[in-house]
Chain A
């Protein structure tokens, strides 16, 4: 029997500290009584910008305790954490820090509070137009933009003097200067994942096409879409390495960053990395909006993050106080300077301090002004998966271009029910 007792004791000891911690309020560090708690989940706060913003806010509002939960770096994982807490109907998070594509989905479930009264039109005008547009679902606004993001074209300014404007330019210049396998023409993101949709939409929009027309009809099997996907499929093994169909952001950046590609489609973060000390392409990189067809205009896919209020929030007014504080100019500037976040307020793109830190912002501003949100629909994840599946199939030669688009359009029609 002694052995059993020893075993049980070890067990108890192992569990004790755990049980002890379990006593702690699920609200975390245990705020002082009477304080309102506002909790939100963000990625890891590497530059410390968020901690500074939170402590500044708490100094100004001693009655509110803001709790920043640092989640994993992967956005999918954070979406899962928010979704789990919404589905279980509890109020773990009061403020929702959300990706632009979550807005329609969460709003349609009735999980978010509309913010129309709190964010009047004259306030909205101070933000980048795409960021606001992507925060609206069925006429109501649910999100205040905090960080912006958009796709653009990087080029090697030491090789190419005039950056390309059209799809033909891009391919022509690539063929002219590339020497595979040491130097490829163009790298982008074509793995079967959300990034593929962003890349495809930019090409589609640049050809004058779209997923839905103005009335909500699916036009993804139209002639513009065929031209767009045909162009994309032509890149693989011509000016892009075969493996581009396995690339996410980082894979394409590594190839470009190490000087093995002339052009790259990527988000603004790659610029910061390219200009770092010790970067092999430092000072040799330019950015322009994505190329377009002659007579059409460039378009960037909009990313970016912003704040909404959960319907289950215990104190929406306190949550709003924090949101309006965090998205104000001073705090966006802090987050830019410390964490490298791209502001969503237009005025900051002329701010001397911001420009001193990021001299490329006038160029980036042009890209952001032309950025468009992805299709706004509560069932966007399914729409996205249909596009991913068939565009990927076309890129690896499993489906012909027309066939792939016909399937995608048919699946999307089924999803949206029209």
Chain B
């Protein structure tokens, strides 16, 4: 009974999560005429990789993926670093105005990214950071910090107080407690935060579009928007699907590794002390 429930639940999960993605994958293998045949075909009748090669002929996609990885990894590390410190203080070091600080973060999480386009465009120009991935890294980190701080605060609060008290009696400093006790125990929360922050950065479009206008620094979502047909109005749907499939696989791989690395790394750290 339990196994049946589990199996059907998992089957639903797989169909739900993969359905549209599989559709994109099948689309990416269909030749020109089959893409919009009426009624639609499900499996490509003469599968071809023309859209995949077309993507690389049109745009430097390996470059875009590299840039997205740099921006995603950079902003995730900065956001997690800053958020761990802040969340530790908010959750564990009775400080004044902690409630107000949390509320202020929430308020700032509501600022629509589109609104930031103009002031940040200005700021980047004044600091000489136009077309710099560093600017985008900092911005993505900031956009994610409210979420990361809230998330980690919730997880840090869940750690039993006796453990921290014992560590303090052992003579550990606050930084040591954070590093050796709090972070390892909150590893699931850290990993989840890292994954969500990384993917946010991977998909962010509005700011990446206006801040990075040179092809050698552009990121994946902007790159996909650059795919075009031979004529205006034409949407090269086969190529767009191919690009989506190609750019999703590395992010899933990166996320799996990311999770292992964080969980593994922190647990090891905790044991070695």
Is there a direct interface between A and B, measured as CB atoms under 8 Å apart in the complex?
Answer: yes
Contact yes or no, B125 A88, CB < 8 A: yes
Min CB–CB distance A255 → chain B (angstroms): 7
Contact yes or no, B77 A28, CB < 8 A: no
Among A28, A85, A253, A269, the residue within 8 A (CB) of B232 is: A269
Contact yes or no, A26 B128, CB < 8 A: yes
Min CB–CB distance A98 → chain B (angstroms): 14
What's the Cα separation between A41 and B71 when bound, in Å?
24
Instruction: Identify 23 residue pairs between A and B in the complex whose beta-carbon atoms are under 8 Å apart, listed by A's number.
Output: A3-B265, A11-B77, A15-B134, A17-B133, A18-B71, A18-B132, A18-B137, A19-B132, A21-B133, A44-B58, A70-B226, A77-B209, A80-B117, A88-B119, A88-B122, A90-B121, A90-B122, A90-B125, A149-B232, A258-B33, A272-B230, A278-B33, A280-B33
Contact yes or no, A24 B131, CB < 8 A: yes
Contact yes or no, B58 A46, CB < 8 A: yes
Among residues 95 to 115 in chain A, which have CB atoms less than 8 Å away from a CB atom of chain B? none
Known contacts: A26-B125, A70-B215, A250-B233. The answer to whether A77 contacts B225 by CB under 8 A is yes
Q: Which residues of A contact B (CB under 8 A)?
A: 3-4, 7, 10-11, 14-15, 17-19, 21-24, 26, 28-29, 41, 43-44, 46-47, 69-74, 77, 80-81, 84-85, 87-90, 92, 149, 249-250, 253-255, 257-258, 260, 267, 269, 272-273, 278, 280, 340
Contact yes or no, B230 A85, CB < 8 A: no
Contact yes or no, B33 A72, CB < 8 A: no
Q: Which residue of B lies closest to A195 (CB)?
A: B233
What's the Cα separation between A343 and B228 when bound, in Å?
20
With A250-B233, A258-B38, A260-B38 given, can you name 11 additional A-B contacts, CB distance below 8 Å? Answer: A14-B73, A14-B137, A26-B131, A44-B58, A44-B227, A46-B229, A77-B225, A84-B118, A149-B232, A278-B33, A340-B231
What's the Cα separation between A136 and B119 when bound, in Å?
31
Q: Give 1 or 0 for each of B207-248: 1 = CB within 8 Å of chain A CB.
A: 001100111110000100111111111110000000000000
Among B70, B214, B222, B229, the residue within 8 A (CB) of A17 is: B70
What's the Cα separation between A43 and B228 when bound, in Å?
9
Q: Which residues of A contact B234 (CB under 8 A)?
A: 250, 269, 273
Known contacts: A10-B77, A46-B58, A88-B118. The answer to whether A74 contacts B225 by CB under 8 A is yes
Contact yes or no, B74 A18, CB < 8 A: yes
The answer to whether the Cβ of B269 comes within 8 Å of any Cβ in the partner chain is yes
Q: Which residues of B contact A (CB under 8 A)?
A: 32-33, 36-38, 58, 70-71, 73-74, 77-78, 81, 117-119, 121-122, 125, 128-135, 137, 179, 209-210, 213-217, 222, 225-235, 265, 269
What's the Cα separation between A107 and B137 when bound, in Å?
36
Contact yes or no, A81 B209, CB < 8 A: yes
Q: Which residues of A contact B74 (CB under 8 A)?
A: 11, 14-15, 18
Known contacts: A18-B74, A77-B225. The answer to whether A254 contacts B179 by CB under 8 A is no
Among B118, B179, B222, the residue within 8 A (CB) of A87 is: B118
Min CB–CB distance A83 → chain B (angstroms): 9
Among A21, A85, A278, the residue within 8 A (CB) of B217 is: A21
Q: Which residues of A contact B233 (CB under 8 A)?
A: 249-250, 253, 267, 269
What's the Cα separation between A88 and B234 when bound, in Å?
32
What's the Cα separation between A19 and B128 when bound, in Å?
10
The 8 closest A-B pairs by CB, nearest first: A22-B132, A18-B133, A26-B130, A73-B228, A72-B225, A269-B231, A254-B36, A18-B134
Min CB–CB distance A31 → chain B (angstroms): 14
Min CB–CB distance B126 → chain A (angstroms): 9
What's the Cα separation between A414 and B129 when bound, in Å?
43
Min CB–CB distance B236 → chain A (angstroms): 9
Interface centre among B134, B233, B234 (most CB of A within 10 A): B233
Q: Which residues of B contact A149 (CB under 8 A)?
A: 232
Contact yes or no, B38 A255, CB < 8 A: yes
Among A19, A72, A272, the residue within 8 A (CB) of B209 is: A72
Known contacts: A3-B269, A18-B133, A70-B226. The answer to whether A43 contacts B232 by CB under 8 A is yes
Interface centre among B117, B216, B234 (most CB of A within 10 A): B234
Q: Which residues of B contact A23 (CB under 8 A)?
A: 128
Min CB–CB distance A191 → chain B (angstroms): 13
Min CB–CB distance A358 → chain B (angstroms): 12
Known contacts: A3-B179, A257-B36. The answer to whether A88 contacts B121 by CB under 8 A is yes
Q: Which residues of B contact A253 (CB under 8 A)?
A: 233
Known contacts: A19-B132, A47-B230, A88-B118. The answer to whether A73 contacts B225 by CB under 8 A is yes
Q: Which residues of B contact A22 (CB under 8 A)?
A: 128-129, 131-135
What's the Cα separation between A15 and B213 when bound, in Å?
19
Q: Which residue of B lies closest to A17 (CB)?
A: B70
What's the Cα separation between A226 and B51 when bound, in Å?
47
Known contacts: A22-B129, A72-B222, A260-B38. The answer to whether A84 contacts B232 by CB under 8 A is no
What's the Cα separation between A186 and B180 when bound, in Å?
70
What's the Cα separation between A90 and B121 when bound, in Å?
9
Q: Which residues of B contact A29 (CB under 8 A)?
A: 214
Contact yes or no, B73 A21, CB < 8 A: no
Q: Which residue of A lies closest to B240 (CB)?
A: A73
Among B71, B121, B231, B265, the residue within 8 A (CB) of A85 is: B121
Contact yes or no, A258 B36, CB < 8 A: yes
Contact yes or no, A84 B121, CB < 8 A: yes
Known contacts: A43-B228, A44-B228, A72-B225. The answer to whether A21 contacts B132 by CB under 8 A is yes
Known contacts: A46-B230, A88-B118, A340-B231. The answer to whether A278 contacts B225 by CB under 8 A is no
